[in-house]
Amino acid sequence: MKIIKKFYPLILTILFSLSIFFFFKNDFKEIDFFDKFTFDIISAIIFLCFLYLITEALVLRNIVIFFKKNITLVESLALMTSTYLLNSFVQLSGLGFRVTYLKEKKSINIKSFLFLSISSIFCELFIFSFFGLATTFLIDLIAGVTLISKDIKLIFAFIALSSFIYLFLLIYFIENLKLLTKNFNLKLVDKLIEFLFFIKEKNLLLFHLKQLTIFSIQYIVVAILFVIILKFFSNENYFYNSLLTASLVDLSFIVNLTPFSLGISETFAYFGTRGTSLKIIEIIIAINSFRIGIILVSLIIAPMYFLISNFIKK
């Protein structure tokens, strides 16, 4: 069992890669468009992937600044690109590297950092699920019939509502819980309040608003990237399909069961867009263009930053 738990991401990745190989082998005539990929399209994809990583760096920078620690955008970008590179090969190794770096270089409390990281994830969940839900209704409205299943709408609605409660109502829940239990010796509650000791910070709401703003920008970046790719396919309703795919793909990154959510993102996008004109081949190419773009940018930025930093120190 331990061996399976250790290597299951690799096993899933291999199985997914083999399925893609056989799919391409059987339907190779459908992918002759590779020759038509222009330099402009490739450049646009890479540039948008760079912007995506910038937004990720801004999210991390906001967390570090919350603790009144200094970190430049370039340093934050290097950390995030390193995280993506490491996670592409070994599950969660990127997160471990990032936490260790911030603990040693910035003296940041790990528990507090993880709490704000979780809060940031809820900000991301809220933005992408909210826009995803809005897009499903927009697609149905334009089509004049129900194309997106009720289940997908309910999932988006549940995620958006849960995230909203966490971000904006948790603080009041904790405060009331503390008042209700002040006359009781409840160690579990005391530990919870101690763990969330900075929940009463005046700037926590401001922190959430900043993260929500950044993730809104990130959603636009990802949506534009998919618009470019799906338009290239001459996909019918490529604009609205891109908006929905952007939400589904980003939410799939949270389910980090395989390196870079390989296979997970495709599954999310496939089931989430059933009923639309989006084809499986378009989903696969669009998502993997996004992945490859991020990896290419990360391969340039992360090594360059740490090499230059070490050279300057010497």
For the cut 70, the answer to whether the pLDDT of residue 215 exceeds it is: yes
pLDDT for 153-206, tens place per residue? 999 999 999 999 988 887 677 666 666 666 665 566 566 555 555 555 557 888
pLDDT for 277-302, tens place per residue? 898 888 988 998 999 899 999 999 99
Residue 10 lies in a domain: no
Residue 159 lies in a domain: yes
Of the segments 18-22, 127-131, 199-203, 285-289, which one has the largest average pLDDT value? 127-131
Residue 246: the pLDDT is 96
Residue 94 lies in a domain: no
CA pair distance 169, 161, nearest whole angstrom: 11
- Count up the domains in the chain and report the number: 1
Residue 127: the pLDDT is 98
Note whether 182 and 16 are within 8 A (CB): no
For the cut 80, the answer to whether the pLDDT of residue 35 exceeds it is: no
For the cut 60, the answer to whether the pLDDT of residue 216 exceeds it is: yes
Tokens found for residue 229: 């790719």
- Average pLDDT of the residues in 136-154: 93
Residue 36: the pLDDT is 62
Residue 64 lies in a domain: no
CA pair distance 207, 264, nearest whole angstrom: 30
Through-space distance between the first and last CA atoms of the chain, rounded to whole angstroms: 46
Residue 234: the pLDDT is 73
Note whether 208 and 167 are within 8 A (CB): yes
Helix axes 110-143, 39-66, angle to 10 degrees: 140
CA pair distance 181, 312, nearest whole angstrom: 54
- Average pLDDT of the residues in 31-54: 84
Residue 80: the pLDDT is 94
Residue 279: the pLDDT is 87
Residue 27 lies in a domain: no
Backbone angles phi, psi at 107, to 5 degrees: 55, 45
If one compares 176 and 63, the residue with the highest pLDDT of the two is 63
What residues contact 74, with CB distance under 8 A and at least 6 apart?
305
pLDDT for 74-108, tens place per residue? 999 999 999 988 877 766 677 888 988 999 999 99
Tokens found for residue 37: 């990929």
Residue 65: the pLDDT is 94
Residue 26: the pLDDT is 54
Residue 312: the pLDDT is 74
- Average pLDDT of the residues in 43-63: 97
CA 47 to chain CA centroid, Å, is 18
Residue 313: the pLDDT is 66
Beta partners for 276? 274
Smallest Cα–Cα separation from 268: which of 290, 286, 253? 253
Note whether 114 and 96 are within 8 A (CB): no
Q: For residue 70, count CB atoms less than 10 angstroms from its CB and return exposed for 0-12, middle for 13-18, buried for 19 or more.
A: exposed
pLDDT for 231-264, tens place per residue? 887 777 899 999 999 999 999 988 777 777 788 8
Residue 294 lies in a domain: yes
Residue 9: the pLDDT is 54
If one compares 128 and 143, the residue with the highest pLDDT of the two is 128
Using a pLDDT cut of 70, give the percent of the chain over it.
76
pLDDT for 64-79, tens place per residue? 999 889 999 999 999 9
Residue 218 lies in a domain: yes
Note whether 277 and 237 are within 8 A (CB): yes
Give the structural domain span for 272.
122-313
Residue 73 lies in a domain: no
Residue 257: the pLDDT is 72
CA pair distance 192, 176, nearest whole angstrom: 13
Specify the amino acid at residue 276: T
